[in-house]
Amino acid sequence: MIIASTALISLGLVFLAVSALGLLQLPDLYTRAHAVAKSETLGLLLIFAGLFFRPELTADAASRLALVLVFSLIANPTAVHALVRAARRSGALPWTIIDQTTADEELGTVGRLQAAEAAEAAQATEAGQTTDVTDLRDATEPGAPTDPTDTDRRGRP
Amino acid sequence: MSGFLVGVLIAIGVLIVAALYRVYDGPTVFDRLVAVALVSVNGVVVIVVLGFAFDRAVLFLDIALGYALLAFLLPITLGRYFEAQDAERHRHDGPGGGT
């Protein structure tokens, strides 16, 4: 009994640690929310399931623990989903491999940055030197069509 | 008060501090709110485990239920608030307002 409890709680702790690690390491809001909504809920479920096997548990505590478990199981993903929906509606764009400046994008400065980079690259090709900058241009050019919403919003008068 | 449960509490405390770094650092307000949601859920786990560690599980589980309700309402309410605030700001800027 106590061994099953310890194993379940330890496994739950591993999932909580994965969730916190994802919150710190993943690149943008949507991936972080994915870590919080799923891994966190599973870790909580496993820890509460492990607490069901503890010797301190009484009948009263078991019913309340089941109540907290079911409520958290429903409420945590729902809350994160509502939060991400609000972020999406307020204009946060998802992270892509091409443009890694999500923070700049959400501040609306990525259009200016891309324009500055394109101007730099054009100057570099005119001068016919500095392969570094042309490499940068090659890396950023395919990024422009993948972001049609920004260019549309910016191209409109 | 078993040693294993104390270890669990310390581990979750470390995770809460790690998540608080995202609250401090998060580039947008929604990043901060996601981190706060994680801290709240970890707080529920801490309260429940504390109840078992002190052998007062019924009392602490009632508190945990109330805290879970509040932790459910907080991200939803603040998310709606900041969503409305951003919509307001975009209306003031107008389309193509940058540069």
DSSP A25-87: HSSSHHHHHHIIIIIHHHHHHHHHHHHTTSTT--HHHHHHHHHHHHHHHHHHHHHHHHHHHHH
State how far the Cα of A111 lies from the Cα of A21, in Å rounded to an integer. Answer: 31
Residue A78's pLDDT is 93
Tokens describing residue A150: 């920004």
Per-residue confidence in pLDDT tens, chain A, 157 aa: 889 999 999 999 999 999 999 999 888 889 999 988 999 999 999 999 999 998 888 888 999 999 999 999 999 999 999 999 998 888 777 777 655 555 555 555 555 556 667 767 777 776 655 444 444 444 444 444 444 444 444 444 4
Which residue matches tokens 């690259």? A121
Contact between B74 and B80 under an 8 Å Cβ cutoff? The reply is: no
CA of A28: which chain B residue's CA is closest? Answer: B31
Task: Decide if A112 and B64 are in contact by the 8 Å CB cutoff.
Answer: no
SS3 string, B7-54, reads: HHHHHHHHHHHHHHHHHHHCCCHHHHHHHHHHHHHHHHHHHHHHHHHC
CA of A106: which chain B residue's CA is closest? Answer: B28
Q: Show residues of chain A in contact with B98, CB under 8 Å.
A: 108-109, 111-112, 154
Helix axes B3-25, B29-53, angle to 10 degrees: 170
What DSSP designation does A93 have?
Answer: P
pLDDT in tens, A92-122: 777 776 555 555 555 555 555 566 677 677 7
Q: Is A18 within 8 Å of chain B by CB?
A: no
Give the closest residue to A6 by CA, choosing from A62, A41, A47, A39: A47
Interface test with A, best of B8, B24, B47 (most A CBs within 10 A): B8
Tell me the pLDDT of chain B averaged across its residues.
87
Q: Among B51, B65, B83, whose Cβ lies nearest the Cβ of A90?
A: B83
CA of B65: which chain A residue's CA is closest? Answer: A68
State how far the Cα of A103 lies from the Cα of A108, in Å rounded to an integer. Answer: 9
Residue A89's pLDDT is 85
Residue environment code for B70-79, b if the CB has 16+ CB neighbours within 10 A, otherwise e: ebbebbbebb
Per-residue confidence in pLDDT tens, chain B, 99 aa: 688 899 999 999 999 999 999 999 878 889 999 999 999 999 999 999 999 999 888 999 999 999 999 999 999 999 889 888 877 776 766 555 444
Q: Provide the CB-side half-sphere exposure for A73 (13 A, CA).
A: 12
CA of A42: which chain B residue's CA is closest? Answer: B41
Q: Among B61, B79, B86, whose Cβ lies nearest the Cβ of A83?
A: B79
